[in-house]
Amino acid sequence: MASEQLPSEFDVVILGTGLVESVVAAACSRVGQRVLHLDRRSYYAGKWASFTFNGLLSWIEEQSKITASEEHDWSSQLEDGEDLIGLTTGDVSQVTNLQVFNYTSEEEEQVPSLEEEAKEDEEEDEGGADQTPAGETQEEGAPSSESEVKEEINTPAQKSQPEKSKKRLTYAELLKEGRRFNIDLVSKLLYSRGALIDLLIKSNVSRYAEFKNVIRILTCRHGNIEQVPCSRSDVFSSKLLSVVEKRMLMRFLTSCLDRDTPLLYQDFAERPYLEFLQYQKLSENLQHFLIHSIAMTTPDTPTAAALAATQHFLKCLGRYGNTPFLFPLYGLGEIPQCFCRMCAVFGGIYCLRHSVHALVVDKCSSRCKAVIDSTGQRISCSHLVLEEGCFTQTAPPTRCVSRAVLITDGSVLPTEAEQQVSIVTIPSESPVRMVELCPSSMTCIPGTHLVHLTCQSVGSAFEDLSPVVNRMFRTPDSDHPEPRPEVLWCLYFNMPEGLESEGGELPPNVSVCLGPDGSLGHDGAIAQAELIFQKILPGEEFCPPGPAPEDILYQGEEPDASPAQPGEEPEASSSQPGEEPEASSSQPGEEPDTGTSNQGEEPEASSSHQGEAEASPTCKGEESETSPSQQGEEPDASSSPCTEDSDTCPNQLEDGTQG
């Protein structure tokens, strides 16, 4: 399967399959560049990846291994006037403070072995020290070997609630069903009018993905979880607000949208948002919703910034649902892969477990002429795009994100209604946002929810987030009078945010992509990808729409049943007789070139042609081509009750997947 050698010449070589790299890859490939896209890992999407449960366990194990950089001497590959720049070859995920807690029961939960009990004690000690966790596990930047110790820890059915007859999930079941989890390393949502959604639509990459609307925006206040009213209907039906508050909130939100000239708040532009809201005489209730859930900021954020965030939020309402957010089915890791697929469809070559070891730099122009890959092959390229962390780093990361991933046995705010994806904002010194995913998001198994917590790091992820976890959920360390969902398994870790400018002076034709930032949306990543693309191909269009597959190939049914220009296309006649599978044996020797012209492509896959070739196979050409054949098929088709239905094919296709 992977026996062949790579071609030795490309236009663009890209190392890393994170979101930014993948968007750049798709964009370049789409306009005809020959793209080689590599990842040193065995999986796609790097820090943006989502894993099955078992995959996540392997990832955790990998993080505790220190992968030494291999030393190679590639100087024999150099020609006169060339220099080498070496890249780090070890893994560069820089994840720290990784801790795992397992609260599922084992199959034989009655008789925990001695060993397990011992482990359990050890873990109780640690977890019990909630606010001041044991120092040795919490050292910033220390490679976390702790995870192995805590994995497999078993605290069988402790504090089991008598009212709960639900069967507890065992660890064995978790492992057995593990492939049905899709657990993201990064927790983000898509703003329905954000840059990523726009790009997905514009490029047609959206056809590879389906989404769920984030149905509820929740917040945690006075220890209670409340639903934040944000759409008009929410505001009116909310039981949390008085009539006066409802009116005030509506008036305020309306004015936020109208306010193009910041006249009303100009005195407040740089002053805290809270002061502005107080000045507007909004109640405490409303202040809370507006600051934490709608602007998703803090009370002391400058008013201008908070109002900009509020406007963005409001503008995103209603495009796909009553909240501004979407979440991709199968997890966020799906999105970079959608762009990779697009790149591959337009000729990009993909190779995982394959890396770049060194750059070959021309001494005169100081441009990167080629790379030496991990097999020692020299591959020439005009441009090189690298993920972050390829150059040896001296400075520690400046900003980190604290993350927790929980598998729980229920929603923090159960409803009678169908399963829901929720975002919960939890005010605190470093505001915590929590995304709760339900099984229908295809990220966890029935009977569980997958919960992602994220905040800017103050301390370790455990220090930052475990108090919130204990407050919101039932764990061995929590003590709630009221029922709360139980944590079955959880993971804490810190991940550095994308770092600006690393590695000092780079050759002018080398770009470095930053990793995920701590924000909720994807605008930063998309802006970065577009910038890199424009640096590589100034003046080219960024991700023009790809043809919809149903528009390219064709035969049979067509959306437009009208007999349009019969016989206009020469090849129409050749495809006519053989439409039905039954009639297949007809015409064994048709012209070889019809196949290619059918798709509007050049016979040679030469890169320079791919771009333009693309433009031609639009609906129009196809319509005239296929209409005659449909006529030819008519007698047959009319015998089926599906005829009318098939007339609306492309739309139906989409609706079909919808359900």
Partner 1 sequence: MAGGSVSECKEYLFKVLVIGELGVGKTSIIKRYVHQLFSQHYRATIGVDFALKVINWDSKTLVRLQLWDIAGQERFGNMTRVYYKEAVGAFVVFDVTRGSTFEAVSKWKHDLDSKVKLANGSPIPSVLLANKCDQKKETTSNTSLMDNFCRETGFLGWFETSAKDNINVDEAARFLVENILANDKGLPYEETNGDRIKLHQETVAAESKSGCC
Contacts of partner 1 in 358-387 (CB under 8 A)? none
Q: C-beta of 267: minimal distance to partner 1 in Å? A: 25
Q: What does the DSSP assignment read for 379-407?
A: EE-SEEEEETT-S---SPPS-EEEEEEEE
Place of tokens 């991933």: 405
* Distant-in-sequence, close-in-space partners of 308: CB < 8 Å, separation ≥ 6: none
Please state the closest distance from residue 319 (CB atom) to partner 1, in A: 5
Q: Confirm or reject binding of residue 604 to partner 1 (CB under 8 A).
A: yes
**Of the candidate residues 16, 547, 628, 632, the single one contacting partner 1 (CB under 8 A):** 547
Q: What is the footprint of partner 1 within residues 437-466 (CB under 8 A)?
A: 439-440
Using CB under 8 A, which residues numbered 25 to 44 contact partner 1? 44
Does 317 engage in binding with partner 1 (CB under 8 A)? yes
Q: CB nearer to partner 1: give 304 or 548.
A: 548
Q: Which two tokens stand for residue 434?
A: 């929590």
Does 212 participate in binding partner 1 (rule CB under 8 A)?
Answer: yes
**What angle in degrees, to the nearest 10, is found between the helix axes of 19-30 and 195-203?**
30
Stretch that binds partner 1, among 77-85, 90-98, 424-432, 547-555 (CB under 8 A): 547-555
For the segment 221-260, give every residue that binds partner 1 (CB under 8 A).
230-232, 235, 250, 253-254, 257
Residues 557/560/563/566 CA torsion (nearest 10 deg): -70
Q: Is 321 helix (H, G, I), strand (E, B) or coil?
A: coil
Instruction: Report the chain's C-alpha Rg in angstroms.
Output: 28
Toward partner 1, which CB reaches closer, 250 or 499? 250
- DSSP state, residue 293: I
State which of positions 608-627 bind partner 1 (CB under 8 A). 610, 613-614, 617
Closest CB to partner 1 among residues 144, 629: 629
User: Please, which residue, 7 or 567, has the CB nearer to partner 1?
Assistant: 7
For residue 567, what are the contacts with CB-CB under 8 A and spacing of at least 6?
Answer: 573, 628
**Rounded alpha-carbon distances, angstroms, from residue 286 to 236, 283, 315, 428:** 14, 5, 19, 17
Binding range to partner 1, per CB under 8 A, among 123-131, 392-400, 505-513, 570-578: 570-578
Cα separations in angstroms, 641 against 558, 645, 655: 16, 8, 19
Q: What is the DSSP letter of 498?
A: P
> Does 59 contact partner 1 by CB under 8 A?
no
The residues in 117-146 that bind partner 1, with binding defined as CB under 8 A, are none
CA distance 128 to 649: 60
Token pair belonging to 335: 């999105």
Contact region with partner 1 (CB under 8 A), list: 85-93, 347-355, 380-388, 407-415: 347-355
Only segment of 1-9, 108-116, 155-163, 217-225 that touches partner 1 (CB under 8 A):
1-9
> Binding partner 1 by CB under 8 A: which of 136, 244, 585, 635?
585
| Span near partner 1 by CB under 8 A; candidates 53-61, 91-99, 144-152, 206-214 | 206-214
656 binds partner 1 (CB under 8 A): yes
Per-residue binding string, partner 1, 624-653, x by CB under 8 A, is: ------------xx-xxxx-xxx--x--xx
- The number of angstroms, rounded, from the C-alpha of 198 to the middle of its chain's C-alpha atoms is 15
- In degrees, rounded to 5, the angle at the alpha carbon of residue 45 between the alpha carbons of residues 372 and 208 is 120
Binding of partner 1 by 111 (CB under 8 A): no
**Residues written for the chain:** 659
Residue 154 CB, nearest distance to partner 1 (Å)?
Answer: 25
Nearest to 255 by CA among 280, 219, 292: 280
Do 604 and 593 form a contact (C-beta atoms < 8 A)?
A: no
Stretch that binds partner 1, among 129-137, 141-149, 331-339, 381-389 (CB under 8 A): 331-339
Which of 285, 287, 393, 555: binder of partner 1 (CB under 8 A)?
Answer: 555
Residue type, 91: D
**Residue 22 beta carbon to partner 1: minimum distance, rounded to whole angstroms:** 10
From the list 299, 318, 427, 459, which residue makes contact with partner 1 (rule: CB under 8 A)?
A: 318
Structure tokens at 45: 């999407």
Q: If binding means CB under 8 A, how many residues of this protein chain bind partner 1?
A: 110
CB of 246 to partner 1, least distance (A): 11
Q: What are the angstrom distances between the C-alpha of 356 and each of 301, 386, 507?
A: 43, 9, 16
Q: Residue 88 or residue 322: which is nearer to partner 1 going by CB?
A: 322
Residue appearing with tokens 């392997």: 58
